[in-house]
Amino acid sequence: MKNNEDKFKKVISHAKEYGYIFQSSEIYDGLNAVYDYGQNGAELKKNIREYWWKAMVQMHENIVGIDAAIFMHPTTWKASGHVDAFNDPLIDNKDSKKRYRADVLIEDYAEKLNLKAQKEIKKAAKRFGDAFNEEEFVSTNAKVLRYYAKRDEVLKRMASSLEAEDLADVKKLIEELEIACPVSGSKNWTDVKQFNLMFGTKLGATAESSMDLYLRPETAQGIFVNFSNVQKTGRMKIPFGIAQTGKAFRNEIVARQFIFRMREFEQMEMQFFVRPGEEIKWYNHWKEERLNWHLSLGLPKENYRFHDHDKLAHYANAAADIEFNFPFGFKELEGIHSRTDFDLKAHEEFSGKKLQFFDHEVNKSYVPYVIETSIGLDRMFLAIFSASLQKETLEDNSERIVLKLPAVLAPTKAAVLPLVKKDGLPEIARKIIDELKYDFNVTYDEKDAIGRRYRRQDAAGTPFCITVDHQTKEDQMVTIRHRDSMKQERVSIERIKEIINREVSMSSWLQKI
């Protein structure tokens, strides 16, 4: 645990030191759970967004993208259920005065049971070596069975009390499990209360004529209210999807995990409209396709797992999360939800407009069912950034900090470095930059010894360093150094573009999905 905490602290300080993420309004001591992306962060975020957009929109003939406004007619949020049901159960610890989400306290408890079971499995695997049969062990070992049974029981009980809005039972469960406040260690809890997460604001100049609005808590509703516009003008046929990226706002009760849980964040969502009755087939399809998208970026597979929901939202008939192994453990990175026809039907009812599709194949109109894929761009950023940040011990026993971002996402693709600041080398380096800058983000650095400059680019996540030396003047060759392997090769200036392109071009990465 301590190790993980240290790792997380390092991630946060590295993100600041290298211009990725700053606390918002830092000169005024910051604003809680709001962050700004710096010069490198903005690029990384843009690249992740683009990688998602291309995979969704460009790569699918039947998916189109829109950009809806953040402000929406307030009835939208009545129809979607957010006014009445977008609540989190909150609980306060009377001694530490800290506020928690009751469901998260219970989920963390369940995760501890999970970890205990996994520890037993690991121990046994070590003991039995090659002869270890994990499936058999998990289904027969008394301890493991007990941990898993308890975990499932706890999560089921929570799901059913939340479903029934029995908040007293949620509190009782916390007491029965003897869950203590992580800050004070005290078990002195208040009652559990519901708290609406939407931010309100006003539209209009005078008090009498102004209208109460909400900042959208999800981008999805901008897609639903435009269903007919897009379907008709795009002549879309079922099954088809509408994608969108954009800001969303939630007044989160507990926002203590850096950019994992923010009050202003960005979502990348796609709503896929299907024939009623075919939703589970498409739900499984999108689960698989989304996981493949993540895996195409090349981080180890063990970082991802599915978590199927016991507690379904009011609109869903199936739901799963893709969880990622963040520095603080496995947590939700993306949700894949089968939302039924709940949203379109609700908007039909509240607006009085038909939101249907005439399906020539079956010769009838219906309200389509919806599969949603919803991922937080900031969470994706944190996943990639934290897993890429590594400390390596080199052959000579020295250490280097390297940010092994997938090259396709790296903010700067290459640094061009004249070995010395004289003898015409800077001029050659500048000329190389002038040729590369039309295709890639490149940077110039002439300060400090070459080894230090390499380290600086490693830590910033730059996949290539191109060094210009005296020999370059004779033979038009430079040294290209690869960030991950630290291998260096001598190549002609003419070939630099092709070499960089091979590793960073989005099209070759997209082909891996």
Q: Is 335 among the residues that bind ligand ATP (CB under 6 A)?
A: yes
3-state secondary structure of 92: strand
Q: Which stretch binds ligand ATP (CB under 6 A): 37-45, 123-131, 368-376, 445-453?
A: 368-376
The footprint of ligand ATP on residues 160-219 (CB under 6 A) is 218
User: Looking at 161, 221, 374, 462, which residue binds ligand ATP (CB under 6 A)?
Assistant: 374
- Shortest distance (Å) from residue 488 CB to ligand ATP: 39
Between 58 and 251, CB nearer to ligand ATP: 251
CB 488 within 8 A of CB 481: yes
Q: How far apart are CA 420 and CA 378, in angstroms?
A: 39
Q: Is 334 among the residues that bind ligand ATP (CB under 6 A)?
A: yes
The site that binds ligand ATP (CB under 6 A) totals a number of residues, namely: 16
Instruction: Please name the residue that has the structure tokens 């992306």.
Output: 37
Q: Please report, for residues 126, 265, 301, 403, the alpha-carbon distance to residue 386 in angstroms, rounded to integers and kept in the order given.
A: 28, 18, 15, 9
Listed residue (421, 187, 425, 387) closest to 301, CA to CA? 387
The set of residues, in sequence order, having a beta carbon less than 8 Å from that of 161 and lying 6+ positions away, is 167, 169, 170, 173
Four-point Cα dihedral 425, 430, 432, 438, nearest 10: 170
| CA dihedral for 128, 132, 136, 139, sign (positive or negative) | positive
Between 43 and 218, CB nearer to ligand ATP: 218
Spell out, one character per residue from 271 to 310, where the chain touches ligand ATP: x when CB under 6 A holds, - when not.
----------------------------------------
- Shortest distance (Å) from residue 256 CB to ligand ATP: 11
User: Looking at 45, 339, 379, 413, which residue binds ligand ATP (CB under 6 A)?
Assistant: 379
Between 99 and 354, CB nearer to ligand ATP: 99
Residue 189 is encoded by which pair of tokens? 């809890």
Q: How far apart are CA 161 and CA 272, in angstroms?
A: 31
Return the H-helix or E-strand segment holding 324: strand 318-326
Spell out, one character per residue from 228 to 267, where the chain touches ligand ATP: x when CB under 6 A holds, - when not.
----------------------x-x--------xx--x-x
- Shortest distance (Å) from residue 148 CB to ligand ATP: 22
Residue 264: how many other CB atoms lie within 10 Å:
16
Between 332 and 348, CB nearer to ligand ATP: 332
User: Looking at 375, 409, 417, 432, which residue binds ligand ATP (CB under 6 A)?
Assistant: 375
- The binding site for ligand ATP (CB under 6 A) comprises 218, 250, 252, 261-262, 265, 267, 332-335, 374-376, 378-379
